[in-house]
Structure 1
Amino acid sequence: MQAAVLLSLAFCALHMWPAVLGSPQHLRFAPLDRKWPRWLTKVDSFQWANCGPPSDPAVIRSLSVNPCPIEIPGKVMVSASVSSSVAIEAPVQANVTLEKRLGQIWIKIPCVDKLGSCNYDDLCAMLDILISPGAPCPEPLLSYGIPCRCPFKAGTYNLPSSEFFIPNMDLPSFLTNGDYKMKAVLRNGDEELACIQLSCSLKALP
């Protein structure tokens, strides 16, 4: 997936989604020693929510993704507003829990090749991998003054409705068709910065 780190990470992830989930090798966060045999074709039933206490300084105020379902490859329109009452500086840790629905229960997906239910020590360092220090932020972040690296000043960041193209991408074998939900808790040391919960349905072809 920041007025804060939230909006920047979300938009950078959208730009880099193919790299993080499968394509080109040089942008992956960890080497993979097996094939990723499934092609993602559709994302449906996308929902989001802030899941932290009122004291969390960083929150998503609005997020709209259209069309629904998202056909892949295809175009998607995204608008968002995120705010943070504090400046956010490195290191920003993330605790991510990814679950899949099996019948009436949710099963936690383990961390495999840094995907799944994983802990990340420094999201700021990950942003530096995705976008080299000194390089301009990708559009439309650049046009709307949305930062893409730490530190992030306190304030509100708005993305008007903007078009993104999502190309073909492959999925790891453990992300099969079904309903998923993800919870991400961002921290700086002992301070919780934000808690975000996302859910969607994935459809893939072998």
Structure 2
Amino acid sequence: MSRITEFLVICSLLVLVNAKPFTWSNCATTPNPAVVIDLIEVTPDPVELPGVLKLSVRGNTTRVINSAKLTISLHRDTFLLSVPIPCLLHLGSCEYTDLCSLLNTMETENWASITTGLATQMKTMLTSAGIRVDPGLCPLQVTSLNLHEYTINLPQIPSVLSWVASGDYSIKVTVDDTTTNENLLCLDLGVTLTKSSECTGWLCGRRKRDTLKN
């Protein structure tokens, strides 16, 4: 086996080893957080971009939330190290100071030309679960959320962000009360993103139909 072949084999093995299944865990710093998550499941795994994501979530709030901010810390995990992803076009490792109006802002400002459709789908998803989203999320009443394989259409990533369209990612999501700074929610997520394959013909069409059925 030539050195070039050996190198290619090693690289292939590293890619395979580095592929990680979706994971999630609570990391709340308060003993009785205002938002409790019991289940998060996503399919397919890895998540394809663009593609159809099916999301299952079960959780509840324990008290009324009047104001909150959302902080996302995003890292790309490689074989050697974890690389922080900066906040670019309002996406990545960003802080959103007003979670209550975030979906409306995403919808009207259409960050990176992809957030209008995502925000509209998320508002429809929350409304279907009985959560009021207009004129904003707050005050968020004591409620429960139970979604089972809710379908979300994920968009094509714009070229300026194409370098983050595939890979293994660690994501920390925190929600804090903007008045008291109390931690309301903390989640650690692990997800692998992959670019959906470009293909044509009856086989690809059948594969897409099977995905939608399942």
Unaligned runs of 5+ in 2: 1-18, 109-119, 197-214
Which of 48, 59, 62 is equivalent to 1:71? Answer: 48
- Aligned AA (1:147): R
Contact 2:44 2:53 in 1 (8 A): yes
- Residue equivalent to 1:198: 189
Compared with structure 1, are the counterparts of its residues 85 and 46 closer, same or farther at alpha carbon in structure 2 (3 Å cutoff)?
A: same
More strand per residue: 1
Contact 2:46 2:192 in 1 (8 A): no
- Residue equivalent to 1:17: none
- Give the CA deviation at 1:122: 1.0
Compared with structure 1, are the counterparts of its residues 152 and 180 closer, same or farther at alpha carbon in structure 2 (3 Å cutoff)?
A: same
- Aligned AA (1:186): V
What is the percent sequence identity of the aligned residues?
30
Based on CA coordinates, which of the two structures has the bigger radius of gyration? Answer: 2
Q: Does residue 162 of structure 2 align to residue 178 of structure 1?
A: no
Compared with structure 1, are the counterparts of its residues 194 and 178 closer, same or farther at alpha carbon in structure 2 (3 Å cutoff)?
A: same
Compared with structure 1, are the counterparts of its residues 111 and 166 closer, same or farther at alpha carbon in structure 2 (3 Å cutoff)?
A: closer
- Residue equivalent to 2:146: 158
Unaligned runs of 5+ in 1: 1-42
SS of aligned partner of 1:142: helix
- Aligned AA (1:51): C
Which of 25, 28, 44 is equivalent to 1:49? Answer: 25
Alpha-carbon distance in structure 1 between the residues aligned to 2:53 and 2:93: 26
- Give the CA deviation at 1:183: 0.5
Which of 58, 76, 79 is equivalent to 1:103? Answer: 79
Contact 2:74 2:92 in 1 (8 A): yes
- Give the CA deviation at 1:99: 0.9
- Residue equivalent to 2:98: 122
More helix per residue: 2
Which structure ranks higher in relative contact order (CA pairs < 8 Å, sequence separation ≥ 6)?
Answer: 1
Q: How does 1:82-101 map to 2 (within 5 A)?
A: 82-90=59-67, 92-101=68-77
Compared with structure 1, are the counterparts of its residues 118 and 77 closer, same or farther at alpha carbon in structure 2 (3 Å cutoff)?
A: closer
Contact 1:87 1:154 in 2 (8 A): yes
Alpha-carbon distance in structure 2 between the residues aligned to 1:78 and 1:179: 19
- Give the CA deviation at 1:88: 1.1
SS of aligned partner of 2:105: helix
- Give the CA deviation at 1:110: 2.3
